[in-house]
């Protein structure tokens, strides 16, 4: 197990190709750049109930995991943060929290989350805000392609920020029997873009309380279920 505390620094962490590498990060301070490469199965960055954390403005986080049954549990606080997570394998679990209660460096504005995984039976969860009032202009981009199937994607945005700034979710998924649930609530503008190719998937989008809402869903395949609920 590796536990690392960081402040005002750049870091490259590389784990060799054997199983069960555990990396914990607790980073406080602005302008940090963190790069993590893990190769092998059963590896994790953070853990359920003990998430890794970056708390500071202008943080750049780049995580690349290759192998199956890997996990990423990460909390992001601070403005102008960028998180790029690439997991190449099956049965992985990704859980990212943005601007949830607990940060010390103010709000989490202008945050970009990008997740890519071409595998199967993965779970991806992104939670933005958790009623935190200082979260605006957050972009979540999830790309599960190359015939990935039986994945579960859940994006929840429930900040109470009142300024009219975008909270955008953009999902591209190629494969069958996937489950996608997007829930946007609270103030500001909500936009959901979903492109899906495959059959027997369940797609659900709910947006409420926004100054303005846009939902754009394109699906190509058979026997999928699409549910869209939009309200003021």
Does the model's pTM come out above 0.85? yes
**DSSP assignments along the chain, one per residue:** -EEEEESS-EEEEEE-SSS--EEEEEEESSS-EEEEEEESSS-EESBTTB-EEEESTT-EEEEEEESSS-EEEEEEESTT-EEEEEEESSS-EEEEEES-TT-SS----SEEEEEE---SS-EEEEEE-TT-SS--SEEEEEEE-SS--S-EEEEEE-----S--EEEEEEEEESSS-EEEEEE-SSSEEEEEEEEESSS-EEEEEEES-SEEEEEEEEESSS-EEEEEEE-
User: pLDDT for 144-188, tens place per residue?
Assistant: 876 678 999 999 887 666 555 677 899 999 888 999 999 988 777
User: What value does the mean pLDDT take over residues 20-49?
Assistant: 89
- Quick one: 16 exposed, middle or buried, by C-beta within 10 A (0-12, 13-18, 19+)? exposed
Predicted pLDDT of residue 7:
46
With beta carbons less than 8 A apart as the criterion, state whether 76 and 94 touch.
no
- Find where tokens 């609920």 sit: 229
pLDDT on residue 117? 86
**Arithmetic mean of pLDDT over the chain:** 83
The predicted-structure confidence for 184-231, as pLDDT tens digits, reads as follows 887 777 889 999 999 999 999 998 876 678 999 999 989 999 999 998
Tallying the residues shown for the chain, one arrives at: 232
pLDDT at 2 over 80: no
Work out whether the CA dihedral 214, 228, 203, 219 comes out positive or negative: negative
Q: What total of structural domains would you count in the chain? A: 1
Distance, CA of 163 to chain centre:
23
pLDDT-derived band at 9 (thresholds 50, 70, 90) equals very low
Q: Do residues 130 and 99 lie in contact, with contact meaning Cβ atoms separated by under 8 Å?
A: yes
What is the per-residue pLDDT for 129? Answer: 74
Host domain of residue 83 = 2-231
């Amino acid at each position: 197990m590796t536990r690392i505390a960081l402040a005002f620094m750049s870091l490259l962490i590389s784990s060799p190709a054997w199983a069960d590498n555990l990396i914990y990060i607790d980073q406080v301070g602005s302008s940090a750049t963190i790069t993590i490469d893990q190769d092998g199965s059963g590896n994790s960055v953070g853990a359920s109930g003990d998430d890794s954390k970056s708390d500071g403005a202008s943080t750049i986080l780049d995580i690349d995991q290759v192998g199956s049954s890997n996990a990423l549990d990460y909390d992001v606080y601070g403005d102008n943060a960028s998180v790029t997570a690439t997991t190449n394998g099956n049965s992985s679990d990704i859980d990212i929290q943005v601007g949830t209660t607990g940060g010390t460096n103010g709000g989490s504005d202008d945050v970009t989350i990008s997740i890519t995984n071409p595998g199967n039976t993965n779970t991806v969860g992104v939670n933005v805000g958790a009623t935190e009032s200082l979260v605006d202009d957050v972009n979540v981009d999830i790309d599960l392609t190359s015939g990935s199937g039986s994945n579960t994607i859940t994006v929840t945005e429930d900040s109470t920020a009142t300024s009219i700034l975008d909270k955008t979710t953009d999902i591209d998924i190629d494969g069958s029997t996937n489950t996608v649930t997007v829930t946007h609530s609270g103030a500001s503008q909500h936009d959901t873009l979903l492109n899906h190719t495959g059959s027997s998937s369940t797609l659900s989008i709910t947006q409420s309380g926004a100054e303005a809402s846009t939902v754009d869903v394109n699906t190509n395949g058979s026997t999928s279920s699409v549910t869209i609920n939009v309200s003021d």
